[in-house]
Structure 1
Amino acid sequence: MEEQGKGFFKVYDYQELEKQELMSLYIGKNADYYLRKWSKTSAPEKAFSWNWAAFFVFAFWVGYRQMYVYLALLVGIMLAGDVAYIFVLGWEPDIRITIVISLLMGAFGNALYYRHIRRKLDQLKESGLESEEIRRRAAAEGGPNWRGILATCLMLFLYNIILGYLTSLLNGVIHT
């Protein structure tokens, strides 16, 4: 938050205060963690900022934080990489793609989450709702959600079914 002056004469940027309040409402649990990380840079949507949860369990972290478009994109990248391994290189899928994604998510997951929240809050603000309704919706629609974990499990289950089918095709082609 930007402030100017000293003591009693401090002048606060109230738009920044409102933005932080809405972000805090939207984030819910662990809002202080994310706001602290993002306050360390002038461009949090691009900044390197390590997140251990995003590193170790990136797909589940993305689902838990309700970033479903990113979840689909990540699983799609994993599947496309595995398809390239199978049909272009003739290899069995391995963990290299997952390791790269894991490292990138650990390094830039907070920036991705910042972008997600800003987009959601901008949509709420542009909806023409009163500010109290925007606050209520930010708190209700945001935050961590266990349904996201279930969505992640479903997507990874489908990913494994598709990958198993593709691997069996590769094995059938090689052994005939």
Structure 2
Amino acid sequence: MTPTTTLALPSGAMLGNYHLRFEETTLAQVQQVVGVNSGIARQGDAGESIYWLCYTIPGKHAGQRLWLIADGEMGGQEHDITELMVQSVSGAVPTSDCPALPSRFQPARFDNSPVWPGMSREKVVLNTGGGNQNGNWLFLSSEKWVRPGTCEEAAQENSMYIHTVFGRVDIVDTGQITAC
């Protein structure tokens, strides 16, 4: 991946005052802290699998669905969160597999970015530089070298995909992967 920005992209998110960090916080930890158990869902096999938790943030007109995702390979056996996706959903109501995020864990937001569903595309471009643009999608990526404990040097890649409709953000998908 060729970096498109020198901005600090999200390295996690804030759920109220709770800070979850990509590649450090596990899905089970979030379940325990939030206290609402929807069960960790799974799709795919082995390195092609993903695991996730879903929460609903109800809203007056458009609520949001928030997915905390662990890549089956890069998230390890503990299912470290590697990605977070949030989407505007008209009339979002909690379900058994996507319960309401308790109010004490709101507002939800990214730790290094003001981008969130509902923001204008114009404001996103002003805040981020716009990155690569393809139709209704904006894509931002960054890379830095880090020294994790398991290898001498590793590339840490952060990405953010932003979808807009009618000039407003409706989907944000951001994540982090560190590889030797």
TM above 0.5: no
- Under a length normalisation based on structure 2, what TM-score does the superposition of the two structures give? 0.23
* Structure having the larger proportion of residues in strand: 2
Greater RCO, CA 8 A, separation 6+: 1
* Structure having the larger proportion of residues in helix: 1
- Under a length normalisation based on structure 1, what TM-score does the superposition of the two structures give? 0.23
Larger Cα Rg: Structure 1 or Structure 2? 1
